Amino acid sequence: MSLAAKDAVGGAATAKKNRTSSVVQFDTSRFADQSGAKARRLALSAIIFTALTLLVLAFGGTIQSIDYHSLVHALRHFPATALGWSVLATAASFAAVIGRDICAVYYVGARTPRLAPLIAGFCGTALGNAVGFGTLTGAAVRYRIYRAVGIRSDEIARLLLFVAGGFGLGLAGFGGLTALIEAGPVSHLLGWPTTLLQVVAGGALTASIILLLFGLRGSVRIGGFCLTAPSKVIAAMQLALTGIRLFCAATALWVLLPGASVDFFSFAAIFSAATALGIVSSIPGGIGLFDATVVWAFAGHASIDQIAAALLAYRGIYFAMPLVLSAALLAIFEARLAIAPGVPTANDRLIEAATQLSPRFMGVIAFATGVMLLVSGATPTFGARLAILSMRLPLWVVETSHFLGSLAGVVFLFVARGLFERRDAAWWLALLMAAASLGLSLAKGLAYGEAGFLAVVIGLLFATKRQFDRPASMLGQPLTIGWVAAAGLIVAAAGIIFFVAFRNADYTARDLWWQFEFDAQAPRALRALLGAAVLAVAVGLWQLLRPPKGLAPRPDLIAVGRAARVLRVQDKSQGMLALMGDKSLLFSEDGDAFIMYGKRGRSWIALFDPIGPIEEWPELIKRFVALAASHGGRAAFYQVRPETLPFYLDAGLSVMKLGEEASIRLAAFDLQGGARAHLRYALKRGEREKLTFELVPPHATPQIMDALAEISDAWLRSHRIKEKGFSIAAFEPGYLASQWIALVRQDGVPVAFASIMTTGILQEAALGLMRHSTDASPYAMEFLFTKLILDLKAMHYGSLSLGMAPLSGVLAAPLASRWHRFGETIWRYGTRLYNFQGLRAFKNKFNPVWEPRYLAASGTLSPFVVLADAMALIGARFKSSGARAWNE
């Protein structure tokens, strides 16, 4: 079996295991395979490093012989007919790829929408060509697409093996056939004896024919998969389509080579060998190794500059163009889902699965954008455009634009990883850098093509925004050694290009670095390259040498049980949020107090004050701050009370006001007077609309859990949001089963509910989760709250917390901080973003006492970063640890 087929088996097996196992099984297998995966990554890195080293040693002299100006001249004067034929051959090659997928679907006996093989074949191959590991990357894309249309995992595995095996066999057969047809010229090009070439080529072709005619019988078991041999007709079709793909791919490059210096079949044989070397090397797109093989084979038959220009044009047509078209296709699918939402059909499920591939494509495009900007900064600007700029812009604008453009290229290299991981911060940074780079490209040299590509990138980013929904910090993303090394190699390659482009510059001149003139392009490019290198090294060292971020483990059953026992003897009912299972827990030395916290990037954010005896707080706060500092993070406490501020000030934290919390003093609450007329009306109106209220105790909550789930799901759908967490209660059955539930029925049907967080001490209660169905009475929630307050008063509770109103009471006094001025501005004019004033107005109906709540965080600027991270933690999709110990 070929290397490509083995990769496909591994990719299919991993994909199948990940999707058919439970969550616990997946996590276990992941940690069990961690050492093996690390060894494979190291081996792969060693292969790539060795290949690149040999490439530099073997072809360093060839690179030095390239004349930059001749290369640019050749690129700008390509015949339109040659470019047209190359594009046509590329289209035919990808049509054959799609045909291979159709054939493979037929082989496994599956039925799919017509769109599925087109997306899987075209997008999978485009991504595989650009990223490298072509078969394995294409397998991942194909798995997602075919899984979305209902093909079973075992059938997908057979399909992937069939495609990979067909490609390996077709490559051997195509290369062997073309080499035999022109054995003499090919042996001369390669420097091999003709007899040796005929033996090798004949052996490859013969092996392909024998496997096709006699070897495809019965079934073959590979690992846990049973691969049924295809019929000879299907196998022949697959080999024929593979041959067409390779034939057209070779044609796409051959028509760009100067003057048909080598006949096509001789070239096709070299092309097949170069393609195989590119696959084995695992270098993205086989870049460098594939190109060097072609240059080496044809160096004596055409100008090195013309061959290099043909290879660059081929890379743009056969690699870059399908990648951008794939991303555009996914962007169109995004628009299709946004414009016509409704009941999902088979095609809609397919399109939804396809759009989830957008981050991969945008990550590759962002990395390519970084390469483009770095190369642009290391090469000279056309003289005519520079003359126009000299009449329009001052010199300092051109110099600054050139320098900043190269720095933006480095940023793109690193932001690409964040896009791969769907980080929202990476999306925003990529959009900002693309918009800034567009202006810089025009200001530094009127680079219209570069600006056009950046405009396309901006459009694709806007179209795919929905897919970047992971609220994670760019500053907190882990950068592997491999990624840092890749960025370093790109910067080094830009340096090589610089020396090729400015080979005639006088590098011995002492004032080279300080020449600031419009026509002093070498010093300008040298400064930009140095700035890019310094930034790349700084980011790499900062990422690799900074302390590990540390982990915030989810609590297990034992930890949740300990927290539940602490809560039973405390009066702070909001501490019940610790039992949701989505926050980490840090206990004091004797276990009588704890802090619940979440982590995002480098922010370690504790929710509320510590829970437990106050005499244990100083030690616990100190330990939490030290824990964050040990991992290079920032410690913070979110929504702390005013009377506890000295603890945080003593710990060296800064304090800023977040808003105010509404607390009803139940003993003083009644329905008398004109101020309570609206509450009396809500009760009467609710009775007329047949609303009834009941307070369900915890032991009876499981009996109504299904009804609560229906109300909750309807509320989420109507508001088009996902379950939140951290400081907001979420619908978690085990968590709700520990609480009182205030339930409102309309005509006997549950329509609204609210969970009531209480502890073992009848002092303070707090509202938890609140939901209502879409057909509930407009007065249902007001009816619920009024009845609840009266019942809690009758049960002799002291107070009921209605939760916080963000930015309430953040006033811009004459000596107020910038935060207070900013907060008041948002409070006054930010209604379109969030109904700040409406929320306070609703809670004011119950005449609460408003108590301030604060954020305590380390550092001067850290509180603002922490606040953004806290909002991201709240907005992140709720994930529970599944703990249930509090019911015991």
Q: How far apart are CA 230 and CA 247, in angstroms?
A: 24
Return d(Cα 644, Cα 650) in angstroms, integer: 11
Residue 6 to residue 219: CA distance in whole angstroms:
17
With cut-offs at 50, 70 and 90, classify the pLDDT of residue 43. Answer: low
Q: Region 108-126: what's the mean pLDDT?
A: 86
Which has more pLDDT, 535 or 512? 535
Which pLDDT belongs to residue 834?
47
Handedness of CA 433, 468, 26, 631 (dihedral sign): positive
Main-chain dihedrals φ then ψ at residue 483, nearest 5 degrees: -70, -40
**388 vs 396: CA distance, rounded Å:** 15
355-388 b/e with 16+ CB inside 10 Å = b?
A: bbbbbbbbbbbbbbbbbbbbbbbbbbbeeeebee
* Secondary structure class of 724 (helix, strand, coil): coil
Give the model's pLDDT for residue 315: 87
pLDDT at 432 over 90: yes
Residue 740 phi, psi (nearest 5): -70, 145
Q: Examine the pLDDT at 755 and tell me if it is beyond 50.
A: yes
Q: Average of pLDDT values for 829-838? A: 50
What's the CA gap between 110 and 145, in Å, rounded? 13
Nearest 5 degrees, angle CA 632-CA 638-CA 642? 125
pLDDT at 309: 84
What six digits make up the tokens of 831?
Answer: 């209604």
End-to-end CA distance of the chain: 56
Predicted local distance difference test score (pLDDT) of residue 742: 92
Query: Does 531 have pLDDT greater than 80?
Result: yes
d(Cα 678, Cα 842) in Å, to the nearest integer?
A: 11
At 715, the pLDDT band (50, 70, 90 cuts) reads confident
Amino acid at 518: F
Tokens of 313: 């044009």
Locus of tokens 């594939």? 290
If pLDDT is split at 50, 70 and 90, which confidence band does 94 have? Answer: very high
Range with the largest mean pLDDT of 41-55, 207-221, 850-864: 850-864
Under CATH, which architecture does the 557-647 domain have?
Answer: 3-Layer(aba) Sandwich (3.40)
Domain 662-887, CATH number (from 3.40.640.10, 3.40.630.30, 3.40.50.410, 1.10.10.10)? 3.40.630.30
Categorize the per-residue pLDDT at 22 as very low, low, confident or very high, splitting at 50, 70 and 90: very low
**pLDDT tens readout for residues 670-686:** 888 877 888 888 899 98
**CA–CA dist 658, 356 (Å, integer):** 36
Give the integer Cα–Cα distance in Å for 395 and 170.
57
Return the bridge partners of 603, or none: 600, 634
Provide the 3-class DSSP secondary structure of residue 473: coil
Pick from 36-40, 264-268, 411-415, 759-763: least confident: 36-40
β-pair partners for 661: 804, 851
Least confident range from 170-179, 431-440, 640-649: namely 170-179
Q: Is the pLDDT of residue 7 over 60?
A: no
Please tell me the distance from the alpha carbon of residue 767 to that of residue 757, in angstroms, as a whole number: 6
Per-residue pLDDT at 469: 75
Percent of the chain scoring above 70 in pLDDT: 75
Mean pLDDT, rounded, of the chain: 77
pLDDT in tens, 558-606: 888 888 888 888 888 888 888 888 888 999 888 889 999 988 877 889 9
- Answer left, alpha or beta for residue 882, where phi above 0 means left and psi between -120 and 50 means alpha: left
Q: What is the average pLDDT across 208-214?
A: 69
pTM (predicted TM-score): 0.62
Which tops the pLDDT comparison, 34 or 184? 184
**Structure tokens that stand for 881 in this block:** 């640890």
803 touches 775 (CB < 8 A)? no
Q: Which of 46-60, 642-656, 717-731, 822-836 has the highest mean pLDDT?
A: 642-656
What's the Cα-to-Cα distance from 443 to each of 319, 393, 404, 717, rounded to whole Å? 29, 8, 11, 48
pLDDT digits (tens, 9 = 90+) for 264-278: 777 777 777 777 766
Helix (H) or strand (E) holding 302: none
Q: What are the pLDDT digits (tens) for 350-404?
A: 788 888 888 888 988 998 899 899 888 888 887 788 888 888 888 888 889 989 9
Report whether pLDDT(762) > 80. no
3-state secondary structure of 622: helix
Mean per-residue pLDDT for 147-159? 81
Weakest-pLDDT range from 33-47, 833-847, 868-882: 33-47
- CATH 3.40.630.30 domain extents, the chain: 662-887
What's residue 142's pLDDT? Answer: 83
Residue 23 has pLDDT above 50, yes or no: no
pLDDT, mean of residues 613-638:
88
